Amino acid sequence: MGDRRIQISAGDVVVTAMLNDSDTADRLWDALPITGRAQTWGDEIYFSIPVSAEEEADSQETVEVGAVAYWPPGSALCLFWGPTPMSAPGEIRPASAVNVMGLIDGDPAVLGQVPDGAEILVERSGG
């Protein structure tokens, strides 16, 4: 399988990300394009997507900056660029374990400019 790059846009904010080879990433890729409304929680954006997946064996309780993840309890796509309200110093902690599906290219901090309720489009990147 070739590189699977996605583009995530909300207004003027556009980032790309590379998906990994996980089952959950496969399901996301197959469901694209999708839209949602941004909900923010600390330095995280999340929104429900039409993808159903169980928590994977390698799900993570903490993630790295720029992680693109799936949160099974909310069927939500999550984008992380910094601490959440549950994070201890020096970590990024989701509400509960997530399936990491990939990593945002470049600096994901631009996601901090996306307001709550903004429409987000996730699509396959042409690049």
pLDDT single digits (tens) 56-107:
999 999 999 999 999 999 999 999 999 999 999 999 999 999 999 999 999 9
Cα separation of 69 and 80, whole Å?
A: 8
CATH topology of domain 5-124: Cyclophilin (2.40.100)
Cα separation of 115 and 96, whole Å?
A: 23
For residue 56, what are the CA distances in angstroms to 11, 61, 76?
32, 12, 14
Residue found under tokens 């799900």? 59
pTM score: 0.95
Indicate if the pLDDT at residue 126 is higher than 80.
no
2: confidence class by pLDDT, cuts 50, 70, 90: low
Cα separation of 72 and 74, whole Å?
A: 5
Q: DSSP state, 27? A: H
Of the chain, the percentage scoring pLDDT greater than 70 comes to: 98
